[in-house]
Every structure is written in C-alpha cells, then in structure tokens.
Amino acid sequence: MLSRTADCLYWMARYNERAENTARMLDVAYQTSLMPQPIEFMHEGWRKLLNVSLLEKLFESKYPVYNRENILQFMIFDEDNPSSIVCCLNAARVNARIIRGTIPSEVWETQNLSWLYLNQSLPESSSHDPSAFFEWVKYRCHLFRGVVFGTMLSNEALHFMELGTYLERADNTARILKAKYRSQNQQSQTGNNQITLSKIENTSETYDFYHWVSLLRSVSAFEIFRQTYSDQITPERIVELLVFNSQLPRSLNKCVNELLLIINLLKNSKSKEIERLIGKLKSELDYSTIEDIYSEGLDQFIQRFLEKINHIADEFSSTYLIPLSG
C-alpha cells in the first residue's frame, strides 16, 4: 500500500475518534456546568477541558475570558483549532475523499454525509444548548465506525484505521486522567507533587462526586464501573478501571493490547522498533499495580505514558506514513 493511502486511512480514523472524544468531553462539561456550584469551580472546569488537549495558549491568543460561551465557540466552530469538531470532521472528510477508490462507497458516503449535514446540526451559536449537537456527533462517529467494520475487508486498510483509532483513544483517556488529577492536586494545596488518595480533597464532596462521575461518563465507563465494582466511586478504583481493565474499550491497557495485535499484522522489515516500543509499554502495564502508580505519582505515570504513546505514533508515521514535518 502506498504511504499516501495509508496516511489518509490513519488520519481519517484519528480525526473521527478525536471528533467523538471532543463531543464527549464538551457534553459532560456542559452538563456539569449546569449544576449549582461556585463560579470559580465552573471556570476551572472549562479551563481544564482545554488543558486536556493542550490548547490553552491558542485559546488565550483569540479569546479574553475563560467562560462557557467562548470555549464552546472555540471547541465546536473555530477553524483555527485543529481539535474543534468542525475541523476534525472536515479533515476526516478530506482524507476520505482522497482515497475514495480504496474505501467502500458506504464508508465514503457516511463520512461525506456527516460533513454535509454538519451545518444543519450545529447549534445556532455558542450560547444555545449544544446537547443535541453533541449526541449527533457521537451518533455519526458510531455510525462511521459501524459501517467501516461492516463493509471493509480485514486487510491492511482496516488495520491502519484501527491503529489510528487506538492511538488517538489512548492519548485521550490519558489526558483526561491527567487533567482531572492535576486539578485535584492543585485544589488540595499540599505542596507535594505526588498525588495520593489521602491528599485529594475538595470544597464540596457532592461536587467532587459528580465530577468523578463526569470523568467516567466522558469515556462511557459509568455503567461499566457500577458493574465492575458495585460500590462507592473512589479515585483509586477509577484509575484501576481506566488504566488496567483490559475489557474496557477506552482503557489504556485495552488500547495498548490492540495496538500490539495490529502492529503484528502490519509488521515488515522496518517495524522492529515499533513492536519493541509497544511490547515494552504493554509489559509495563501488565506488571504494574495501582500501588505502583500512586507510589510514583499518578501525574508522573500519565506523563510518561503520554510521552511513550506519542513516541510510538511518531515512529509509526516515520515507518509507514508520510513523515511528520519538523
């Protein structure tokens, strides 16, 4: 397969996954912002959402204030923001159009219709309730994924798309965990860089509970948490679920396991280093415990994971795709 074709397949899948992840986070943040809470908590919640995607500097260069309307405008409509929903769906469609001859017509039509119907589904402005729009984005991304698995051969083309999806998903789950726990650490005012359960405090226990629930809902894991633990929601159990549970579709362990399976299907004479990096990361997750994570510090653990998963993505691009600029 040509590198240009593989590159388009990979990025088409990543942008669809990113659009869905952005819609999930915005939906949870919007619903949470409607709860009674101190105004500083609300602003911090919106700011934290930008921190997940490392978009604070870009936002501050265009908008004077962190508030709900500005951040929704930035994350839904802004064409200068590469992670905005409009930009992601457009980029996914552009990549799909380039390789129309490689993908089934149903896949192209699903992706194209998402873009064509986008303007009809967008909220009139950032001050309007965006909940229906977020549900529409999630539905279209789910539909795209279902059409892909229902119509494509299990060959290289599908494997490139799967690998892009799981790299994006692993990165997103890790960033959500990092942003949530960093916020908790800042609120605790302990002066210690390590985040331990005894030091996680909040002004309001009720408020904190709903934010832990929002974290689970942003990765579609709230019902799964109840099925797995049937007990109180606690930070260590959330970490255990989102890091180690190999059956949870968006856990770090599940994503890395899938990456290893897929790279074994795509291996060639130049893929040895990628196989080594993914295998090493899988071993680290397989033989680590929740106690190991908290002993090191969750923030440090997640930062190392992000560096490794992004290094894997860079190596994959250099080996199989159009090399990244710079």
Per-residue pLDDT tens digits for 145-191? 999 999 999 999 999 999 999 999 999 999 888 876 655 554 444 34
Max mean pLDDT range (33-42, 44-53, 73-82, 139-148) = 139-148
Q: Output the six-digit token pair for 218.
A: 């942003």
Model pLDDT, residue 2: 83
pTM of the predicted model over 0.85: yes
292: left (phi over 0), alpha (psi -120 to 50) or beta: alpha
List CB contacts of 244: < 8 A, sequence separation 6 or more: 251, 252, 253, 285, 288, 290
194-196-202 Cα angle (round to 5): 110
Evaluate whether 1 touches 190 at the Cβ level (below 8 Å): no
Asked if pLDDT for residue 195 goes beyond 50, the answer is: no
Question: Pick from 139, 141, 155: which is nearest to 107 by CA?
Answer: 141
Per-residue pLDDT tens digits for 239-263? 999 999 999 999 999 999 999 999 9
Q: What percent of the chain has pLDDT over 90?
A: 59
Per-residue pLDDT tens digits for 200-245? 344 445 556 777 787 888 888 999 999 999 878 888 899 999 999 9
Q: What is the mean pLDDT of residues 277-288?
A: 95
Q: What is the mean pLDDT of residues 282-294?
A: 94
